[in-house]
Structure 1
């Protein structure tokens, strides 16, 4: 007695060994019963025979060939709607067109995934750099050229949430979200810095990665020398650091050449522990 007979049924249709019940077909093709039923509901895979008394579904070689086609096209990530169109209009030119279109779609997805991977790499690089910072030490560093988008704004920087309204304005009319944690900064213009306005933020900017596509005006900042300090804390702790930076520039005979670039490299968006916050202030100098 077979296992099927012991379970009270037969895998094959009685009297016809060429037809197999849905459970046997699921085992043969390593798919679930739910998948086969879903294909039937979508009109992709009709059983060869349905027992009117029991409702058991039976499949034969014709269905095996269809199922093989479905599985192959699903491996290529073709949607079921596209597969259905082909199965209902089998033609070499139809499948060729669909494969070409699917290849183009996969290439677009690969490009998108490569962009996401680069963004993750950049984020990890910045995060690790922030964690390894030398804190409360002023250095003259060479800042690489970068690309930003910015708006004139006077945000309240008592917490990172104070920048949310400005961020939303920067993101307006963009098809993709561009804001990643650690890329939004605030700035104080040269005149305010020279006059001691160390809390007079007048602009909010978004630092763009090379692969970011921004629909609107962007500004290319050239490579430049900056006085830089990194400290444990947030924007609210910045005024005292600005005083140190301005004193240092005067002592070293340096001239301020532009607006400050203040970025919270690690803040509430990444950790709930204020002891881990890291903020960077750079002021371009000559």
Structure 2
């Protein structure tokens, strides 16, 4: 009879477009066992009854259902059981879709930032309206001699977060309003993280409003920033402006993107108002 026909494991693997290793794995975890195992050679043979099970497994795997749930269904076949598992899988897919949409938006932000930074006009002071943003920050007296000096502060910002945060291009350092006014530019006194709209941060988050800023972009990193601060402070004094907050200094292109230091771009913003 056709139902009694047996097929070797390699033939079954080809028919179902899976590997023999996958079939052996299914056997090890107990979701499908061969119809017959030859004692001397240990060859595995499968019958038509296993084809039905393999079809079910293949269908559920296409839906990205975990093997343990498939095994549970095969051991408890019932309409209600499969409906419940499919509903649960649908919710999981919705969550994955949401996560992928967040990742897509973050990628879009990063592409825009790289393109904007790469086309920067360097060593040019500008007056600009800086958009509102959410930040988290810590006070930390910090002198930066290399890009590695920020690592400990970044780990502090990331501490106790349920998900790893993507820091590329969003970590900055700042100097307080008081120190800027006194020309004390030898060390930073805060490290901050600009949050994307879709990011949830467990901890105190500060909302910075739209503000007028003077800004400059230059080729280099934090180590070269002091002379550009002095240019901004001279501009502020010359135009009779008043410093209205801490500086925001971010390397827009750095070692996270390229090893070519000649392509590094750093931006400094200092909030100001009419004096």
- TM tier, shorter chain? over 0.9
Is it true that 1:157 corresponds to 2:160 in the alignment?
no
Aligned residue among 81, 104, 115 for 2:102: 115
Aligned residue among 172, 193, 205 for 2:180: 193
Query: 2: distance between equivalents of 1:236 and 1:24?
Result: 65
**1:92 corresponding residue in structure 2:** 79
Aligned residue among 14, 18, 26 for 2:5: 18
* Contact 2:211–2:271 (8 Å) recurs in 1: yes
- The alpha carbon displacement at 1:18 in A equals 2.6
What is the SS of the residue equivalent to 1:255? Answer: strand
Is it true that 1:214 corresponds to 2:201 in the alignment?
yes
Query: 1: distance between equivalents of 2:43 and 2:141?
Result: 71
What is the SS of the residue equivalent to 2:193? Answer: strand
Aligned residue among 49, 60, 73 for 2:36: 49
Aligned residue among 156, 165, 168 for 2:155: 168
Aligned residue among 51, 65, 70 for 1:83: 70
Aligned residue among 20, 33, 46 for 1:59: 46
What is the SS of the residue equivalent to 2:225? Answer: helix
Is it true that 1:68 corresponds to 2:55 in the alignment?
yes
Q: Aligned pair in 2 of structure 1 residues 191, 54: CA closer, same or farther (>3 Å)?
A: closer
- The alpha carbon displacement at 1:17 in A equals 6.5
What is the SS of the residue equivalent to 2:86? Answer: helix
* Contact 2:4–2:47 (8 Å) recurs in 1: no
* Contact 1:179–1:206 (8 Å) recurs in 2: no
Query: 1: distance between equivalents of 2:199 and 2:105?
Result: 10
**1:227 corresponding residue in structure 2:** 214
Query: 2: distance between equivalents of 1:240 and 1:54?
Result: 79
Query: 2: distance between equivalents of 1:16 and 1:263?
Result: 70
**1:5 corresponding residue in structure 2:** none
What is the SS of the residue equivalent to 1:45? Answer: coil
Query: 2: distance between equivalents of 1:54 and 1:242?
Result: 78
Q: Aligned pair in 2 of structure 1 residues 257, 16: CA closer, same or farther (>3 Å)?
A: closer
Please report the TM-score for the alignment, with normalisation by the length of structure 2: 0.95
1:250-261 superposed matches below 5 A: 250-261=237-248
Query: 2: distance between equivalents of 1:109 and 1:146?
Result: 27
Aligned residue among 131, 135, 140 for 1:144: 131
Is it true that 1:129 corresponds to 2:116 in the alignment?
yes
Q: Which runs of 4+ in 1 moved over 4 A?
A: none
Aligned-CA RMSD value: 1.6
Is it true that 1:101 corresponds to 2:88 in the alignment?
yes
What is the SS of the residue equivalent to 1:127? Answer: helix
State which structure, 1 or 2, has the greater radius of gyration over its C-alpha atoms.
1
What is the SS of the residue equivalent to 2:268? Answer: strand
**1:34 corresponding residue in structure 2:** 21
Count, aligned residues: 273
- The alpha carbon displacement at 1:53 in A equals 4.0
**1:8 corresponding residue in structure 2:** none
- The alpha carbon displacement at 1:102 in A equals 1.1
- The alpha carbon displacement at 1:16 in A equals 7.8
Q: Aligned pair in 2 of structure 1 residues 16, 87: CA closer, same or farther (>3 Å)?
A: closer
